Structure 1
Amino acid sequence: MSSKKEDRKLNKSEQQQQQQQNPKETNQLQTSKAKKKQRRLRQEQQIEKLTSKIPYGISATLNLHKAIEITKEKVKRIAKECRRLNIKFLDREFDVSELDSCLYNQHSENHSAINDSKRVNKLFKEPKFYADGVSPGDVQQGWFGDCWFLSAISTCTNIPGIIETICVERDEQVGDGDWVSTVVDSQLFVKTDIEKNTSDIAVAKCKDPNETWLSLLEKAYAKIHGDYESIEGGFVSEALEDLTGGVASSFETSEILDIDRLWKEDFLNVNKSVLLGCARSGLGTVSGLVDGHAYSILGSAEYQGTRLVKVRNPWGNTEWTGAWSDGSELWTPESMAALNHRFGDDGIFWISYEDFLDYFNLYYRCRIFDSRWNVYSTWINYNVRPKSDGKFILNLSKKADVIIVLQQPDSRYFHKGPAYLYQLAFRVFEKGSSTYLIRSPYTKTFYPWGRNINLEIELEAGTYEIIPRINAIPNPDVKNDKKSDDTTKDETNTDETKTEETQTEEYGNQNSESTATTTQPTIESEFILRVMVSVLKHMKDHFLFLKIKKS
């Protein structure tokens, strides 16, 4: 004990001697640290002030605020110019009067029954962006196969303010709407019958015949991805993630280990900490449930010992016909009043939790956030190869709930998808340890090449290393002239063919650089790591600071 005290005394005396020898350098260092701390606190205060008005459910980041301000300014500038010239706004970047360029990718061989476009004021008698707020019942799918996106919109309407935040600014007099840094005009696709002299809206529309927000929001989403074909077919989870900035996951209901835990953690928290969706795929159309179709989960309830799930079909009709469906003998005046339910072919129905798990084989979950969470992210170029070639350092000054997400670019931006399909994984190590603390989940799921992989964990204060690993196979929908798909697939390992020991070896020693040892080609691509850290607002002097870097 005495030797340790003496060592501490010596260290202190050495520090004092150094300070006496270099007082100028010491003062400069202290001043620099103080300035960094002040700058950091100012940034946090600015973020807190700017994001305080963002509604719950939207990932409140400084970038979101900047995007909103840029969008508002853009709309005002366009509206001013249109009034000066006395003409309606025409979006030259996404002019739907040029049918093929906005309907389909230029390489597509598809043909469409859509043959015209018209302005909103020619399609709606008394057009209004919002007629009476937003609700799940507003959403009605149009001609396009984007039920996954519309189901997500229907789900988001359950939380006040989400849709209103996405739909940033508009000027209905000149005919523009604006969402997520994208401006669109008021032209919409229609199917025109020349003989009958009628035009039917081909895009998604609201139940109210004069409400326009849904049609224009769908158009903005199509514009962001290049054309309407690019948003046909998808996962509800990814659309929820796009609309809220949350963290999405997809599961097969048959893979759930503890259904009681799932009910308590997710279904009883729907529209609170999570947004949910579901789908039926490859099982056929049974009891009114459509195969290959996505649905919204609007709520849940326990009534007299029965667990029930409230679901909606984005078509606005065609419902479940089994137990607890509309007209079922299980309904009583008391249960209808307790669950606030009315019969009608509006696409909304209740189904027991047990039947839900049996009849819907795909389940989507989006974890949503508010301003109590700090979000950190960084893009990297990463070499896809058997062993990891980089890591991220995570420093936590306090115990915290942490969500880690490894994500790849959205394949919708590529015709037929990217050249390679990537399977993402990562492990978290305590610094200096050779045994991983936790790894990203892996299941033999329906879509192993998903857009992201994530996990949620409570971590103690300390330093952690996040080590990604990315597997790749050539995309069978994209021609690869260099090497046949079969040859490359044989050389590319996947988790399904590996033992636990092999996987551990391929992560390598996280304290040293890894090198490729097989003939697998090295592929460079771009990925993003996002980390969400919970922060209690009253702990202003104890903010959690996170540093992420590639080693």
Structure 2
Amino acid sequence: MTDCEGLGPAQWILVYDRGEVTPWNPTGPAAASFDLLDFYEERDKCIRENRLFEDPQFPACDRAIYYYEKPNVDIVWKRPGDIVKNPQLIVDNHSRFDVRQGKVGDCWFLAAVANLTLYDQLFFRVVPPDQSFTEKYAGIFHFQFWRYGIWVDVVVDDLLPTVDGELYSMHSAEKNEFWSALLEKAYAKMYGSYEHLVGGTTEEALEDFTGGLTENIYYRMVNYEGGEEMLVRIRNPWGHFEYTGEWSDGDNERWNKVSADQKRSMLIEKEDGEFWMSLKIFMRAFESLSVCNLTAEVMDEIYEMTGKRFSMDRRHMWREVR
């Protein structure tokens, strides 16, 4: 690691409009020396000058990794093309299994990213599809977050921290897929460093990804008699280590008593960090639940930018009033 001075192919065609997005403005003592970075201007400039982009606001150095505690490993910054052959932003399609934790203690952030992949409309709002490692590649990428009431565009280079040739940061199961690692870098830039992502709440990241409102629901125990067994599906943000009790992947006693069709549609018997649990056990094991509420206005804006519309019932959505 080196020290430095200041820091401050989906299967359908996606219509993407840049919309009203503000280039992210870094804060802090060193911010005054930086100009706002426009992704398209910087990319075109690098292409004209036949060079790869290096981010002056978030340089590849020690202070991008930590602000307090230096990791006890040797970190080398590499571009994806120096790590693997044929790097891609997205392989086949994005999914929650593309999100695997690195050495940064930000499992709360990973949980939100995994949820983001479940909705194409939200995913491509945060990860603009107008970038790749092939067409107009210049070592520069951008991601968009909801910040203090506006969407901001955070530009980063693709120099990523590695240890012994492996990514130090968040990564995908596919070795040549890099959207999740670059997304985490952009988020770390917005908050100051990778270490600033250690410890947080999933609802914070969900708000940053959607512009929605989050709330915590705390459970009260109620009497329940009769009825069907209610299950909830849970994902460990680490992507491995699973619950082994009632209704877990290995609970053949219970799963063998449901219909073959239902078992086939629900049960995935592999160590992927995702499992089922009965609601009564879930309520004993967890004390709160985070919910991100999406307003109709947010959905309309996403539709205008991506061309994809949610199929939600608008009568049950929050509305924004100022």
Q: Which amino acid aligns with 1:235?
A: T
| Cα gap change, 1:145 to 1:324, in 2 (>3 Å) | same
| Cα gap change, 1:402 to 1:212, in 2 (>3 Å) | closer
Match of 1:331 among 239, 245, 255: 255
1:370, CA displacement in angstroms? 3.1
1:235, CA displacement in angstroms? 0.7
Judge conservation of contact 2:88–2:132 (CA < 8 Å) in 1.
Answer: no
**Aligned positions of 1:389-408 closer than 5 A:** none
Once the two structures are superposed, residues 56-110 of structure 1 have per-residue CA deviations (whole angstroms, 9 ceiling, x without a partner) of xxxxxxxx9311799xx922211211112111111111112x1x210112xx244
Gapped regions of structure 2 (runs ≥ 5): 1-14, 25-36, 145-152, 302-314
Match of 1:310 among 233, 242, 245: 233
Once the two structures are superposed, residues 461-498 of structure 1 have per-residue CA deviations (whole angstroms, 9 ceiling, x without a partner) of xxxxxxxxxxxxxxxxxxxxxxxxxxxxxxxxxxxxxx
Distance 1:374 1:126 in 2: 36
| Cα gap change, 1:159 to 1:216, in 2 (>3 Å) | same
The residue number in structure 2 matching 1:148 is 108
Judge conservation of contact 1:114–1:189 (CA < 8 Å) in 2.
Answer: no
Please state whether the residue corresponding to 1:94 is helix, strand or coil: coil
The residue number in structure 1 matching 2:4 is none
Please state whether the residue corresponding to 2:78 is helix, strand or coil: strand
Once the two structures are superposed, residues 206-258 of structure 1 have per-residue CA deviations (whole angstroms, 9 ceiling, x without a partner) of 111111100000000000001011111111111111111110122443xx376
Judge conservation of contact 1:167–1:177 (CA < 8 Å) in 2.
Answer: no
**Mapped pair 1:368 → 2:294:** yes
1:374, CA displacement in angstroms? 9.3
The residue number in structure 2 matching 1:179 is 143
Once the two structures are superposed, residues 363-420 of structure 1 have per-residue CA deviations (whole angstroms, 9 ceiling, x without a partner) of 2111122338899xxxxxxxxxxxxxxxxxxxxxxxx9896xxxxxxxxxxxxxxxxx
Query: TM-score, structure 1 length as denominator?
Result: 0.45
Distance 1:69 1:91 in 2: 14
Distance 2:231 2:193 in 1: 38
| Cα gap change, 1:75 to 1:170, in 2 (>3 Å) | farther
Judge conservation of contact 2:293–2:317 (CA < 8 Å) in 1.
Answer: no
**Aligned positions of 1:100-179 closer than 5 A:** 100-105=62-67, 108-168=68-128, 169-172=130-133, 173-179=137-143
Distance 2:275 2:196 in 1: 30
Judge conservation of contact 1:135–1:158 (CA < 8 Å) in 2.
Answer: yes
Match of 1:89 among 53, 56, 59: 53
Judge conservation of contact 1:79–1:171 (CA < 8 Å) in 2.
Answer: no
Once the two structures are superposed, residues 524-549 of structure 1 have per-residue CA deviations (whole angstroms, 9 ceiling, x without a partner) of xxxxxxxx44xxxxxxxxxxxx6x5x
Please state whether the residue corresponding to 2:161 is helix, strand or coil: strand
**Mapped pair 1:78 → 2:42:** yes
| Cα gap change, 1:214 to 1:259, in 2 (>3 Å) | farther
The residue number in structure 2 matching 1:241 is 207
| Cα gap change, 1:402 to 1:307, in 2 (>3 Å) | closer
**Aligned positions of 1:75-474 closer than 5 A:** 75-96=39-60, 98=61, 100-105=62-67, 108-168=68-128, 169-172=130-133, 173-180=137-144, 181-192=153-164, 199-253=165-219, 256=220, 305-329=228-252, 330-332=254-256, 333-339=260-266, 341-371=267-297
Distance 1:143 1:221 in 2: 15
CA RMSD of aligned residues (A): 3.0
The residue number in structure 2 matching 1:66 is 20
1:161, CA displacement in angstroms? 2.1
Distance 1:81 1:259 in 2: 65
Judge conservation of contact 1:311–1:350 (CA < 8 Å) in 2.
Answer: yes
1:201, CA displacement in angstroms? 0.9
Judge conservation of contact 2:23–2:154 (CA < 8 Å) in 1.
Answer: no
Please state whether the residue corresponding to 1:310 is helix, strand or coil: strand
1:163, CA displacement in angstroms? 1.4
Q: Which amino acid aligns with 1:138?
A: D
Gapped regions of structure 1 (runs ≥ 5): 1-52, 56-63, 193-198, 261-303, 376-399, 404-531, 534-545
Please state whether the residue corresponding to 1:161 is helix, strand or coil: helix
Identity over aligned residues, as a percent?
Answer: 30
Please state whether the residue corresponding to 2:249 is helix, strand or coil: coil
